[in-house]
Amino acid sequence: MPAPTVGGMPHHADRLRRAPGIPWRVDSLYDTHPLVTNTGSEALDFVRAFVSAGRRGESHPWGQMLPGETAELCLCAYDIEWTTVTLAWFRPGDGGEFAWSFRPSDPTATTTARE
């Protein structure tokens, strides 16, 4: 059986992260390029990715993400050991805003979603 791929690149299943009840999956093509996929059954509105590492940080406004849609983050300019990515979004059904954080350097470290 051939190795699974994401976007034509090798997919490392051991680097796959998904927290229960969270509509996101994070795949790592490389340590500094996580792919974030909406695995939920509905579109998510006003999605933003906040990248922070010490005093440095930036925001990536992705807008609406449909089910199955994937966005790539470039973290090459960051010290990956000190980097945290927080995703924030609105659910269209109830308008609630949620946030979820992960550390690209640790495939098992996630936090729970907050409203």
Radius of gyration, CA atoms only, the chain: 14
pTM for the model stands at: 0.76
Mean pLDDT over 64-78 rounds to 95
Q: Which of 51, 82, 46 is nearest to 61 (CA)?
A: 46
- CB burial of residue 6 (10 Å; 0-12, 13-18, 19+): middle
Mean pLDDT over 9-17 rounds to 40
Rounded percentage of the chain residues whose pLDDT exceeds 90: 50
**Per-residue model confidence (pLDDT) at position 78:** 92
β partners of residue 34: 28
The answer to whether residue 106 scores a pLDDT higher than 70 is yes
